[in-house]
Structure 1
Amino acid sequence: MTATATQMAYRRFGRTEIQMPVFSTGGMRYQHGWKDVPLAEIPDDVQENLNNTVRRGWELGINHIETARGYGPSERQLGVILPEFDRDKLILQTKIGPTDDADEFLSHFDESLERLGVDYVDLFSLHGINDSRDLLKALKPGGCLQAARKLQSEGKVRHVGFSTHGYRDVILRAIDTDLYGGFDYVNVHWYYIFQRNWPVIEAARAKDMGVFIISPTDKGGQLYAPPDKLRELCEPLDPMVFNDLFCLARTQVHTLSLGAARPSDYDAHMEAVGLLDRADELVTPIVRRLENAMHEAIGATSPEAWSEMVPDDRLGPSGLNLQTILWLRNLAVGWDLVNYGKMRFNLFGGGGSWFAGLRPAEALPTARDEELVAASSGPIAGRVPDLAREALEMLGGEAVKRLSES
């Protein structure tokens, strides 16, 4: 790494003892699409952009590179550039989804090592422990966690963790397990607009696990293209910088994934590194303005204020994920996150365990109002049918697929 690496800040990544940069280079936006193809089919300019993006991160002191088997040809493309870097200083992470058959899981891992062109990875995640079925695949005797620990004993993996987009209770069960040594770290969603998983981070801290925040810029509100209202509320900071500081002001958080698509994508985030010692001072008045704007819109300071009053899809009538539906509605009416809301809302029905819940346009007509009211609690219970329909009218559109499914 060059002298500019001193600009970066580092944190102990839980019991792994890794000194982790507070930003990580996530590998799901610079690769050549979402279909795994041979290197020979990847255009030269696409590969060069990936090379330059990873190099720029390294120059800034971001020596943690994170990818996954499911990110199209990302592993293959990284295998081209990784030999440039000092392997002893590189922190390399890949992720593989749990399977029913541990031998299949191990075969996938061997393929990932071959694609990356390395003998081991520093961090290895079971990718997508989202629901009870995924957790069973991981924890059952002879399952994927036991297989991952076997890889660790063979020196092919340094530390074992898991990533999740799933239900909070499932995540907490995964963190709580001590089977096969449990997990060393967790990749989880948590950022300003989505704070429901804070108990997960506290539980991880209690177990001395590393905490890696997934997609705080894109899933955190498409902050690379924020609406004018959000931009005004976050002044004098860019919304991305505000969100970075909000997250990193908590010492329980160790690193934020930056899904950089090009070398310049690091620039705004590096501003946050220089402001870390003033995080509380800068963030507090912005939070107050955001809360006031949300209160004016919905009568509560948080878009998640109603989350504990309505069920997710497991108990929601007709498979409706009312928690997420109302959260997206509140983001749209409170902070004008309409485009973000549409992007997420139209994943319903196509996101599987990664974005659970049936498509509201199809499920709402089959849910009777009395069912929606009975499934809810608190002062909003009687309003839930109208709120859900308002969300559908505001955000509904053509169904979309997750990027990895498209």
Structure 2
Amino acid sequence: MRYRRFGRTGLDLSVFSLGTMRALGSPEVMQAVIEGAIAHGINHIETAAAYGASEAYIGRALKALGQPPVYITTKLLPQGDAAHVQRQIEQSLERLQVPRLDGVALHGVNTPEHLAWLSSEGMAMLQQLQAKGVIGALGFSSHGSLSVILEAIASDQFDFVNLHYTYFQQRNAPAIAAAAERNLGIFIISPADKGGKLYQPSQRLQELCGPFHPLHWSYRWLLSQPAITTLSIGPATVAELAFPLAVADQVDPLSPEEQAVGDRLQAVMQETLGRDLCQQCYACLPCPQEIHIPEVLRLHNLAVAYDMTEFGKYRYGMFGRAGHWFAGQPANRCTECGDCLPRCPSRLEIPRLLRETHEQLQGSSRSRLWQTI
């Protein structure tokens, strides 16, 4: 396991962090997963008050393991007044059975309303608790638009940021650069699952990434970027730890063979989609029907070029069901009004592509895992 400085927090974190949204089966399972993670060199556990019993399970596990030297970050929703925020922090401390939190992140700064909360008394309370040493680093996670993320970073109120960013979704690259410029720690959210269900890759993707496993290649692509501190992994069992951590000591620049995989993926994307390739410029937004056209077409790109259809169904099924956590309505809401067409520099036949994508990916609807607990 390698370790990197978490930006201006000063913490040296393992390049993989233990995310705990999935290890919720029982306190015993959580303890086994934490013990296994520590044995592999992981020194950072990330959780949230919203993850059901996760905090309580972590607190019980760490106590049983003799309070091993690990850093703990939890998250709370950006809402409420000062008293509410103070109560939330006190409850997290009690559940985790620790006197201090190494990190606290606002859970989902996704909208302009969340940005406005940064000027509230609730945010002021977090800063007071940080000044008192009850909280170490203060950060935020976001599933929102790039503009919201950049504005939150530019506020200079945060020490770290949790973002979605992978080879297959590079929209947040400017946010990564902005965070690095301000010396923020950078934590990558769910690069295996939300990044493409890479632990269950299609045969096509495996062939294109060969001789590397797609999951390992994607991790290497991220770890080769020095600005990125740590990647989240979310094993539900101890058995799920070993395979993803096989590249935990590989943080050097991509080798020529690894770089060739990226070149091949890019070429195949262009060749397969041709004039139907969405370049992800976002010029088509806003849509009068609130369809997230670029995200729908990104899933179309991946399904057609790499046969990432199961991943596409997994994500597409969340449209219209996850609110600001996964914004946008399903593509069948398109009325073919043509509003987007003159704004598309690639002159894509957007209504046709939306219709085709809906027909291909309209699998069963989903909700966020932690909202079902």
Both proteins in one fold, TM over 0.5: yes
For 1:125, the equivalent position in structure 2 comes to 105
For 1:216, the equivalent position in structure 2 comes to 191
Asked if the contact 1:317–1:372 (Cα under 8 Å) also holds between the matched residues in 2, the reply is no
Please give the alpha-carbon distance, in whole angstroms, between the structure 2 residues aligned to 1:74 and 1:304: 39
Please give the alpha-carbon distance, in whole angstroms, between the structure 2 residues aligned to 1:71 and 1:280: 38
For 2:46, the equivalent position in structure 1 comes to 66
Please give the alpha-carbon distance, in whole angstroms, between the structure 2 residues aligned to 1:300 and 1:20: 43
CA distance 1:280–1:84, shift in 2 (3 Å)? farther
Please give the alpha-carbon distance, in whole angstroms, between the structure 2 residues aligned to 1:237 and 1:165: 29
Answering whether residue 280 of structure 2 is matched by residue 306 of structure 1, we say yes
Give the partner amino acid of 1:346: G
Give the partner amino acid of 1:389: R
For 1:43, the equivalent position in structure 2 comes to none
CA distance 1:192–1:251, shift in 2 (3 Å)? same
Asked if the contact 1:186–1:211 (Cα under 8 Å) also holds between the matched residues in 2, the reply is yes
Q: Deviations over 1:265-308 (max 9, x none)?
A: 2212222124433633342011112112211221289x762333
Matches within 5 A, 1:319-398: 319-361=290-332, 363-364=333-334, 367-374=335-342, 376-381=343-348, 383-398=349-364
Q: Which residue among 158, 167, 175 is the counterpart of 1:183? A: 158
Give the partner amino acid of 1:95: K
Asked if the contact 1:194–1:304 (Cα under 8 Å) also holds between the matched residues in 2, the reply is no
For 1:4, the equivalent position in structure 2 comes to none
In the alignment, structure 2 segments of 5+ residues that lack a partner are none
For 1:35, the equivalent position in structure 2 comes to none
Asked if the contact 2:292–2:327 (Cα under 8 Å) also holds between the matched residues in 1, the reply is yes
Asked if the contact 1:24–1:258 (Cα under 8 Å) also holds between the matched residues in 2, the reply is yes
- For normalisation by structure 2, the TM-score amounts to 0.95
Q: Deviations over 1:169-221 (max 9, x none)?
A: 0000000013xxx1000000001101110100100011000000000000010
Q: Quote the RMSD (CA, aligned, Å).
A: 1.8
How far is 1:320 from its partner?
0.9
Matches within 5 A, 1:2-401: 8-32=1-25, 46-84=26-64, 89-137=69-117, 139-144=118-123, 146-178=124-156, 182-277=157-252, 279-299=254-274, 305-311=279-285, 315-361=286-332, 363-364=333-334, 367-374=335-342, 376-381=343-348, 383-401=349-367
Number of residues of Structure 1 aligned to a counterpart in Structure 2 = 372
Please give the alpha-carbon distance, in whole angstroms, between the structure 1 residues aligned to 2:186 and 2:70: 18
Please give the alpha-carbon distance, in whole angstroms, between the structure 1 residues aligned to 2:275 and 2:247: 29
Task: Please identify runs of 4+ aligned residues in structure 1 that moved more than 6 A.
Answer: none
Please give the alpha-carbon distance, in whole angstroms, between the structure 2 residues aligned to 1:389 and 1:304: 15
Q: Deviations over 1:304-349 (max 9, x none)?
A: 62333322xxx11211110111111111101111011011111011
Please give the alpha-carbon distance, in whole angstroms, between the structure 1 residues aligned to 2:155 and 2:340: 34
Asked if the contact 1:151–1:157 (Cα under 8 Å) also holds between the matched residues in 2, the reply is yes
For 1:42, the equivalent position in structure 2 comes to none
Q: Residue 401 of structure 1: SS of its match in structure 2?
A: coil
Give the partner amino acid of 1:384: I
In the alignment, structure 1 segments of 5+ residues that lack a partner are 1-7, 33-45
Please give the alpha-carbon distance, in whole angstroms, between the structure 2 residues aligned to 1:300 and 1:130: 32
Q: Deviations over 1:236-257 (max 9, x none)?
A: 1111110110001000111000
- For normalisation by structure 1, the TM-score amounts to 0.87
* Higher mean displacement: 120-129 or 391-400: 391-400
Asked if the contact 2:5–2:11 (Cα under 8 Å) also holds between the matched residues in 1, the reply is yes
How far is 1:84 from its partner?
4.5
